[in-house]
Chain A
Amino acid sequence: MATVTLNRAEKTYDNGFKALHGIDLHIGDGEFTVLVGPSGCGKSTLLRMIAGLESITNGEIKIDDRVVNNVAPADRDIAMVFQNYALYPHMTNYANMAYGLKNRGYSKVEIDTRVRDAAKILQLDDYLERKPQQLSGGQRQRVAMGRAIVREPKVFLFDEPLSNLDAKLRVDMRLEIKNLQQRLGITSVYVTHDQVEAMTLADRLIVMNAGVAEQIGTPIEIYEKPASLFVASFIGSPSMNFLNGTVSDDKSHVVIGDGSKINLDHQIESGRELVVGVRPEHFTLTVDGSGALKARVRMIESLGAETLVYLEFGEKNESVTLRMQGTHQFAKGQELALATTTDLVHLFDRDSGKRL
């Protein structure tokens, strides 16, 4: 049981590249925290700094109340699961799981009980005497998790553990990880760039962008109140529609494109230019088309349970996406009127990209 605290943690690599620009973060006891962000934003760097595999350039990292900046990885009481499993190929799965305990001087009996317990939890009982190559990808990943569990560490670290698995297995393993973490109650930090994984696993989500934590919050907070254009576009699929507009004279709505209106309940000075964000699932079709966005159907994707409609509007053919429950048919070029409600509209400053 442990907390992890980062104070202005910075990382500059030897080649002078600044990968992290000061991260502040507090991870509570037993919390499942997910780091999400586009490739190269510094997720792995941050995780590896917590693990002690990368040094920290500035700031401090604490596990519980101990500053661990200069503590060796093995002495931080953490366990890590790697994307490519990183199992020792010449050892049996049993030996793979036992290795860390052996190095820490546990007795044979103790090691055996722990490994067998973990194997039972992970349904690996029958595979202990095999070598990692003789297992499927999912089983290997479970061995890697077993290696982490047997240590009973203070903190679990996962670096994209599921990205080498196929889609179906990924869903299964996701549930399994979540269950396991809740059952063991071990503080966890999980890196992914799959936002479904991020949304479903996280107690708390950290959206990173170019070495900065753009927003920290529960998945729902982040979905409902994205702090910036970046977060808004990154979380949610298909991603949020962004429409450039100007606040009307009476401040009651924003004028978009060729004069369509989106109603406002914020107090914003008239004439201000801003970006209006509406999620594809928050548009509805209106019948009369008054005060709504009129757009022409460009393409339809039917997914069975839902239908994605890609439309364009205005003279500049700006695109907008609509997501509807069930199946629907529209002709190409057909004009639809899209409406939304004021509380589902997100407003962002056009220059800074910050939420208004």
Chain B
Amino acid sequence: MYQSKWRSIANHVILILGSLFMILPVWIAFVSSTHTREFLFQNGLQFWFGGHFLENYGAILFDTAATKGRVTALEMLFNSMVLGLGFAIGKVIISMMAAYAIVYFRFRLAVPIFWVIFSTLLLPLEVRIVPSYEVVSSLGLLNTYTGLILPLIASATGTFFFRQFFRSVPDELLEAARLDGAGPLRFFIDILVPLSVTMIAAIFIIMFVVGWNQYLWPLLMTTDDQLYTIVIGIKQVYNSLYEGGQIPQFPKAFALTIMATIPPVLVVVIFQRMFVKGLVETEK
């Protein structure tokens, strides 16, 4: 009793310290973003709110001057959203279909093809970034959303997870569906997709965050400011903090950073619910 009480206290202390360690920087960035730049410059980072929340966030969202480019943060958020959603949805669709073909269709090269796909897990995007750029540019897709998303859409990870999941679906379900007159497409749409909601939600969350945080690829792909994503925007703003001999625009840079974190957090929160609900409801 005595001992376990101390242990539990120790556990909590560690957990609380860990959480503080992770949350504190975000908190400081957030509250500091609500002060004027002069105040911040004189007094250093803040631990409590100042009175300039609306002013700073308004400027960053709607005023191109604040982001040092020809786009507002709102536009960059939109671009990031397109990239994140396109990336995540595309990956879910493509990898589900690939896994479906591999698991349910008997073709000669299914196993080798799977292993080829699987081995690409070992190769990060950066390895093929130059050839990918070549391809996209010769297709004339530079500075387009299509060019931004399409080359990233194949997913070995997703294919692998869906494959494992499909293999765990009982064969009798497929057989029952065949007897019920469902062809391959019907079976996929009516049975497999609804059964995979949990998987879809999980992969969607992960992929959205990965897509949202892409830096190198959008940087290469987009020369037009209009297509900048928020991650590039942040880099841009921090790069130019000390330009021009003015007092650095720290509050607005912080504001931009905070805004960049909100959509992924929202996606995680919203889909996590679905994710858990899916786990509880379909226990097969």
Contacts and interface: CB of A to CB of B under 8 A. Distances in A.
A279 B179 CA distance: 43
A314 interface: no
A86 B180 CA distance: 12
A53 B282 contact: no
Interface in A68-111: 72-74, 78-80, 82, 84, 86-91, 99-100, 103-104
A84 B170 contact: yes
B176 A86 contact: yes
Contact of A99 (B170, B190, B283): B190
Contact of B181 (A74, A87, A88, A90): A74
Contacts of A7: none
Interface in B160-190: 170, 172-173, 175-182, 186, 190
A100 B186 CA distance: 11
12 contacts: A51-B175, A51-B179, A74-B180, A74-B182, A82-B172, A82-B175, A82-B176, A86-B175, A86-B176, A89-B284, A91-B194, A133-B283
Contacts of B195: 89-90
Q: Which of B173, B176, B194 has the most CB of A within 10 A?
A: B176
A190 B195 CA distance: 30
B172 A86 contact: yes
A164 B175 CA distance: 19
Contacts, number: 60
A78 B179 contact: yes
Interface in B42-63: none
Interface size range of chain B in the complex: 10 to 19
Given A51-B179, A80-B175, A88-B190, 20 more contacts: A73-B178, A74-B178, A74-B180, A74-B181, A74-B182, A78-B179, A79-B179, A82-B175, A84-B172, A86-B172, A86-B175, A87-B176, A88-B177, A89-B283, A90-B191, A90-B194, A90-B282, A91-B194, A100-B179, A103-B186
B282 A89 contact: yes
Contacts of A73: 175, 178-179
A74 B178 CA distance: 6
Contacts of A99: 177, 180, 182, 190
A74 B190 contact: no
A88 B178 contact: no
Interface of A: 51, 53, 72-74, 78-80, 82, 84, 86-91, 99-100, 103-104, 133, 147
B153 to A, nearest CB: 27
Contacts of A53: 175, 178-179
A237 B146 CA distance: 72
Contacts of A78: 179
Contacts of B173: 86, 88
A104 B179 contact: no
Contacts of A147: 176, 180
A237 to B, nearest CB: 30
Contacts of B182: 74, 99, 103
Contacts of B190: 88, 99
A103 B178 CA distance: 10
A74 B191 contact: no
A109 B182 CA distance: 21
A78 B178 CA distance: 11
Chain A to chain B: the 4 pairs with minimum beta-carbon distance, closest first: A86-B172, A100-B180, A103-B181, A74-B181
A68 to B, nearest CB: 13
A19 to B, nearest CB: 17
Contacts of A79: 179
B176 A103 contact: no
B191 A88 contact: yes
Contact of B180 (A82, A90, A103): A103
